[in-house]
Structure 1
Amino acid sequence: IPLLARFFLQKSAKELGVEAKRFSDAAMALLVEHGFPGNVRELENICHWITVMAPAQVVGAKDLPDELQHGGVPRTSVTPVAPGTAPAAEVVAAAPALRPARGEPAGLGDWESALEAEARQLLKAHSPEVMDQLTRRFEGVLIKTALDVTRGRRIEAAQRLGIGRNTITRKIAELGVNAEDD
């Protein structure tokens, strides 16, 4: 599992044009413990998810999906959200308001359920390249927010996001991110 996990992290990073992440010892121990009874595809999907979602280059146990952290049982239940109830732009714009209060665990009842609803709607509509669409929008929101928080300082924004300055510059151009946009 460790060898495959490293391979899949590198593969996902290359596909997305980002720096490859690394697993901490604790995170790797949870991966090995899980054993991936489904198949290797499950491990590959988790590594891709981590490449997109983990906030730092070194992935800790807390960065892994809940199923791995809690022995196959998600920490919280999914709050049903009817597909199509909110346009994608509203889902992304509402994400900060959906965050749990300080000290509360982030679970699937917040922005992740909105993301799930949007993904479900796109998949049911047979929309092409859903992963690419949502990844680009997610990255755009992250980068725009980091630039806003750092008052447009790209190097500081890149550091806070755990990416390189060349990566943030390239992503800003690719995604058309403008820190002055509202």
Structure 2
Amino acid sequence: MLAVFGINNDGVNLAVNLLILFLVVIWFALIYWTNADARRRIADPMLVGCATAASLFPFVGTIVYMIVRPPEFLDDVRERELEIQAAEARMVELDHQLCPHCDYPVQREFLRCPSCMRRLKDPCVNCQKPLDPEWPICPFCETEVPGAVQPTASRRRRRREERDEREHPELGETAAFDVTSEP
């Protein structure tokens, strides 16, 4: 058997050889891990190659990579950007709607459409804020709306189905079925 470091004792020589084998296996595992982690965090293939090449320096290269690597995965960055875009779209949608008569962009607080001049909402008799025609009470001043009909359970369910179909058109009839099957 080959004596490593001039060790002639078979037991000590075996322990040293196993330790060296263990360190080599760990080194190759760190090279693989650095490459896999760099591909998940870095979009540029050249930088991924540089990170992998740096890990060829035993242990030190991987430690340096861990210090300078980007803090988040590319998938997390893309997901965050999509969430920001969706939030911005929801904010725009909250402020702007389309006139049901002429499809002109109108804001939620408009009483009349500036394009076709049709009435969109009625003002509250007390505070003059715009009210949805289906509201039985003004949400701003708590004044009851004269002539408004209290919504029944079936009407609420129908509105919920319509809202679910608007929010998730790809579900089609299944969204309405799921909502109506609730207790």
TM-score, normalised with respect to structure 2: 0.21
- From the CA coordinates, give the structure whose radius of gyration is larger: 2
Larger proportion of helix: 1
**Which structure is richer in relative contact order (CA contacts within 8 A, separation 6 or more)?**
1
TM-score, normalised with respect to structure 1: 0.21
